[in-house]
Copies of this chain bind each other. A is one copy, B any other.
Amino acid sequence: MPRRKDGEKTRDAILEGAAWLFSRKGFTNTTNADIARVCGNINTALISYYFCDKATLYRESWEFAYRDAIKKYPLDGNAPADAPPEERLRAIIHADILRRSERDSTLNGIIHAEISYPTEILTDVYEKSLASLRAVLRVVVAEMLGERATAEEQRLAVLSIFSMCIVPVEKIQTLEGMPQYTYDPEIRARHVYEFALGGLKAIKK
């Protein structure tokens, strides 16, 4: 039984194209025909052929995009656990912003689409892409703010840094009327880190 390998290429193309579309228009607003179109006018039947149905494709393309991204940019940004909190904070922010900027921000697009119109993958997306960031931030922020900070102060500080990371920059940029300026992820990551440092210092008082 001959195993052809040209199918894998098609499958991957669908995963990629679908992820991109889903990130921009969300699950329900994306049709199989749309997906077929962006994958180079392939046939819609191939979606059923490779992924059984649209919902499965959605889940798989999200997981596909996520796995890739998190491997390249792990949560802790590869900072040693015993590094000073400032360095760990820098690494977390850096990894997070770069990860969210990957692939035309497919990852972050899906997340924001899920926030607006939840589907059945919401829980998974939420855990992996929002809750996890908050959790790691919480640890370093607590350390940096010191003993005297209340739980609420910690929460607020985490929320602020979190906000700067997850803001859908690329999406907002593509909106009509938006000046054509793109932010380099490296530079933005650096900026957010410094901004956060200053903010934390001000809060600590």
Contact = CB atoms under 8 A, between A and B. Distances in A.
Interface string A162-205: 11101111011001111001010001100110111111111100
Contacts of A164: 159-160, 163-164
Given A115-B171, A191-B203, A201-B198, A122 B176 contact: yes
A160 B122 contact: no
Contacts of A162: 167
A88 to B, nearest CB: 18
A170 B192 CA distance: 23
Interface residues of A, number: 53
A113 B112 CA distance: 9
Looking at chain A's contact residues, the main secondary structure is helix
A152 interface: yes
- Copies held by the complex: 2
A127 interface: yes
Contacts of A198: 198-203
Given A26-B117, A126-B177, 8 more contacts: A112-B116, A113-B116, A113-B117, A115-B171, A126-B175, A156-B187, A156-B195, A198-B200
Interface of A: 25-26, 28-29, 109, 112-113, 115-118, 122-123, 126-127, 130-131, 152-153, 155-157, 159-160, 162-164, 166-169, 171-172, 175-178, 181, 183, 187-188, 191-192, 194-203
Return the 9 tightest CB-CB contacts between A and B, nearest first: A198-B202, A195-B199, A163-B167, A198-B198, A156-B191, A198-B199, A116-B116, A199-B199, A163-B163
